[in-house]
Chain A
Amino acid sequence: MDVVDTTYVAPTVGGPKISEGLVTVLADHVHVRYRVYEDVKHTLRSLVAAAGRKRRYREIHAINDVSFEAHAGEVIGIIGPNGSGKSTLMQAVSGLLPVNEGAIYARATPMLLGVGAVLNKTLSGRRNILLGGLALGLTKKQVLKREKQIIEFAGIEDAIDRPMKTYSSGMSARLQFAISAAVKPEILIIDEALAVGDRDFKRKSRNRIEQLRESAGTVFLVTHSMQDVRRSCTRTIWLDNGKLKMDGAPEDVIAAYEDTDEKRDQRLQRTKRKAERALQQLAELDEEEAAAVVESTAGETDSRGA
């Protein structure tokens, strides 16, 4: 049985240090791989059928050698295209997903904001506050004490005793955020949660993040909104294809991230225009002329037959 490692010495980690506060999370050369089997996984039949021969699977390297240090008082934006491993990395950081190589160290158990999976839609909002609060590790007494505050924060005073399935998606998202916000974890992970709710609720959520930061917590914010990153984050990590591409001040990382997007677009446009021109030219020529063009281009290497 493994013991809790308390004597770990932090290795030098690439990337600039924005804050010199206490290290709260340390990711040390983390790898996460998924095996995707070509036939249906986890059935006795497939196991019996595959007995004796090599099982065929594809390995997806979801997180590839990612290292970073997070400090107290930082709000770290995690950006990157879809499928770049942002959510996987956050699940690993919260300890919910085991890593294949490397290790993640934390000073407190990081909490993933999101309590939706435990809630029961048939029951009232009030009962779900209790259920969600208990799931996040509060005692019943603590939940009941904070109940009023949660209801207020979610802004659903009138609907609190109605079954949750009668809520609009915005209402239920707000309630979920409010339940999670009732717990003050030292390390909080917010995965795309700010996209919900109206402007007023977004403002409240942002204030909440700011409070956590000021009380020397660490917040990870996974988002596609560069505006959110600029407004809330003190540091930004850019993931691309499972690798840590850049780690630094939000402005710098966003500039680099958006730059590549632009460049990629430009390159695509240029190639497209070139292909179109070539096709057009070919269509205008008949066979003999085309042959002549080919000959002349073969002769004059610097000309492209224009």
Chain B
Amino acid sequence: MVTTTEEAPALARLGVRPRLRDYLRSLWDRREFALAIPRAELQAQHRHTALGGLWHLLDPLISVGIWWLLFGVILNVTRGLDNVVGFLAIGVFVFHFTQKSVRQGARAIVSNEGLLRSISFPRAILPISVVLAEFLSLGYALSAMFAVVLLTGEEPSWTWLLLAPMVFFQFLFNTGLAMAVARLGDHFRDIAQMASYGVRVWGMLSGVFYPVANRLGNRPELLAIMEFNPGYLFMELPRRAILNNAAPTAQEWVTLMVWSVAMLVFGFIFFVRRENQYGRG
């Protein structure tokens, strides 16, 4: 009854979880799509304003000014720092990358139900493109940061180039984290809110607005724990590389790498395990 010819592909069952290798290949095949989503979003963002795309640069610059006023002048928690503005700019921009990745990642599945119900593609593209969007806006923010740092009298050094691998590892970490919260956010809608507060507290504890070493100077055991906190390393290492021209130690590189790869692998596997259930509502 069923006539099968040699060259025709066989009937395959739909909705089964794909093999990991096939899944990774299909992700790679769709890489242009994964990039097109954040690009479109960025293009659309400031469309209606007079200054348009310039806002991508103006927004972080103005923010730095506000934080400097608040934390550097009014609250004065950055005592003893040479370059308060540079310190704040690096910390806030870099941590914002993680914070926004989590916040948007938690909504990546939930807010795309229509898309999930009409087009088939590897679902991991959604959290990945969320992180890519934040990565692109980090690019603008870091350009603003370099302008601020140069204007405040820092001398360029080769250690500035280390920012690239640091941000790359943070990108891997954020992608894993975004995939994990995307699945959680699909299951419990409240995770989107909770994760957002959680990440802010984590940022505060890791020293977004103040030098951690100053606060923990008399608590060496806490400072030692801090050395293994990825949030702390994400901010501390670029600050040292740019403001003090100091490269991270081998231990710090290894910690950064282990965290990033572990989070990426965990988040990916955790996310893909429910691949066929997303969009069900």
Contact = CB atoms under 8 A, between A and B. Distances in A.
Contacts of A117: 112, 114-115, 117-119
B4 to A, nearest CB: 7
A32 to B, nearest CB: 10
A20 B4 CA distance: 11
Given A96-B117, A120-B40, A127-B40, A5 B13 contact: yes
A107 B119 contact: no
Interface string A65-101: 0000100000000000000000000010111111100
B121 interface: yes
A123 B47 CA distance: 9
Interface stretch (B139-147, B155-163, B184-192): B184-192
Contacts of A242: none
Contacts of A1: 17, 19-20
A5 B12 contact: yes
Nearest to B188: A44
Chain B contact residues (Cβ within 8 angstroms of A): what range? 35 or more
A278 interface: no
B14 to A, nearest CB: 4
Interface stretch (A134-142, A220-228, A265-273, A279-287): A134-142
Interface stretch (B86-94, B98-106, B164-172, B272-280): B272-280
A32 B126 CA distance: 26
Given A43-B188, A118-B119, A127-B40, A95 B15 contact: yes
Given A5-B16, A103-B13, 9 more contacts: A1-B20, A3-B16, A5-B11, A23-B11, A104-B15, A106-B12, A116-B114, A117-B114, A134-B30
Nearest 3 Cβ contacts at the A-B interface = A117-B114, A95-B14, A122-B44
Interface of B: 1-5, 8-17, 19-20, 29-30, 32-33, 36-37, 40-41, 43-44, 47-48, 112, 114-121, 187-190, 276-277, 279-280
Interface of A: 1-6, 8-10, 12, 20-23, 26, 42-45, 47, 69, 91, 93-99, 103-112, 114-118, 120, 122-123, 127, 130-131, 134-137, 139-140, 163
